[in-house]
A and B are shown apart, each in its own frame.
Chain A
């Protein structure tokens, strides 16, 4: 819970205020869904994702956008995690570079993050004519978020 608050605070107070070259800011909160442990109840994951998205939305003034994107990845995360870890994994495995292996975890992050950003920017850019600008915003934000999340994960859980 403390970890979630810290991450949300960083998202709201720091990241929402930076706009690389005027385009999309990095989004860190998907990490809170990405790192849900193996065996989390589906409904619990959904409520967790929606709740975090809702708070992020209120602070950023994007009502409904983060909550929709976060709910979707919270729906996908548990089955995807099950498929991507070895069958004989410990019951409450926490996804990280050390528990899942570097390449596996990277794929896991990249996939969920891509899904999240696609929904987030599609909804944000609703009825918006500058398709090119949304695409660039999404690309910049995706790259920035991915780098940042990998960095955070390395700091949080250094690989042996």
Chain B
């Protein structure tokens, strides 16, 4: 009997090893999907709090670069505003109507400011955590933008934090178009460099040049149309050779942002109910 117990205990670590590896595998498959429990992610309240303290401390170090980017963005926007104002004056015939249309577009949007408390860019499926949650009005499927462009889409929320699927995520797919044209496609990230994404399914007859601007299409109501995504860096053939695949240089350096806004689009409910029918 004694011999038997000794034999068993000699192998107990093998069983434990297999058990723990199976448990890891279970965690890997179960919780790396967004439908999985949010409590095992970085948005878990305790974990998010720790990251928040850290982000608070680090924010001072990143301020100069962030400020510079904001100032730059401000100048660009000022410039654009001037141009638009000028065009508005020129379009005298229906000034009141144009202005009304513009106001209507912006009226449906509410912006919730938030700060990133945890972020990554080196994984295949990058997620980030922001310090605004359901109490602030954030809900899954809302778009998140920064001063320089699109950041990602909210995937789950807790009362004061939200888990955001970054555009640097293999599951991310953002409806986009080439500015000034009707060519649209989906922006996808395939891993590797954090500033390089791809836009698929652009027809071969499209006239595209390097440097063309890629923006959101507004088809999904997660993002309004016209938000900056990046610029065309390379024009390649798609794998089936039937369309172009554009390599996009993203405008937002996700490795280096902190302040973001969550977009609440009131049209979204209407659009969703339409799509559900």
Contact = CB atoms under 8 A, between A and B. Distances in A.
Interface of A: 12-13, 16-17, 19, 22-25, 41-43, 46-47, 50, 53-54, 57-65, 67-68, 71-72, 75, 123-126, 128-130, 133, 137
Nearest to B51: A59
B47 A71 contact: no
A42 B9 CA distance: 11
A59 B127 CA distance: 12
A133 B191 contact: yes
A63 B36 CA distance: 11
B27 A57 contact: yes
The 7 lowest CB-CB distance pairs between A and B, nearest first, are: A64-B28, A64-B27, A42-B13, A68-B24, A63-B31, A67-B24, A133-B192
A125 B123 CA distance: 8
Given A13-B54, A129-B190, A24 B122 contact: yes
A64 B29 CA distance: 8
Contacts of B51: 59
Contact of B25 (A46, A60, A68): A68
Interface stretch (B14-22, B69-77, B137-145): B14-22
Contacts, number: 108
Given A42-B13, A43-B16, A68-B25, A130 B194 contact: no
A71 B42 contact: no
B93 interface: no
B42 A58 contact: yes
A71 B97 CA distance: 66
A125 B17 contact: no
A75 B12 CA distance: 12
B190 A137 contact: no
Most buried by A among B26, B29, B124: B124
A145 B192 CA distance: 20
Interface of B: 12-13, 16-17, 20-21, 23-32, 36, 40-42, 44, 47, 50-51, 54, 58, 118-124, 127, 170, 190-195, 255
Nearest to A62: B123
Contacts of B190: 129-130
B28 A75 contact: no
B122 A25 contact: yes
Contacts of B16: 42-43, 46-47
Nearest to A67: B24
Given A46-B20, A53-B24, A64-B32, A137 B122 contact: yes
A135 to B, nearest CB: 11
A137 B191 CA distance: 11
Nearest to A16: B120
B90 to A, nearest CB: 45
B247 to A, nearest CB: 14
Nearest to A25: B122
12 contacts: A16-B120, A19-B194, A19-B255, A43-B12, A61-B42, A63-B36, A64-B24, A65-B24, A68-B28, A75-B13, A133-B191, A133-B192
Given A12-B50, A19-B122, A22-B195, 6 more contacts: A17-B58, A22-B255, A58-B41, A59-B50, A67-B23, A72-B21
Contacts of A60: 42, 120
A73 B28 CA distance: 18
B54 A63 contact: no
B16 to A, nearest CB: 5
Contacts of A71: 17, 20-21, 24
A42 B11 CA distance: 10
B72 to A, nearest CB: 22
A131 B191 CA distance: 10
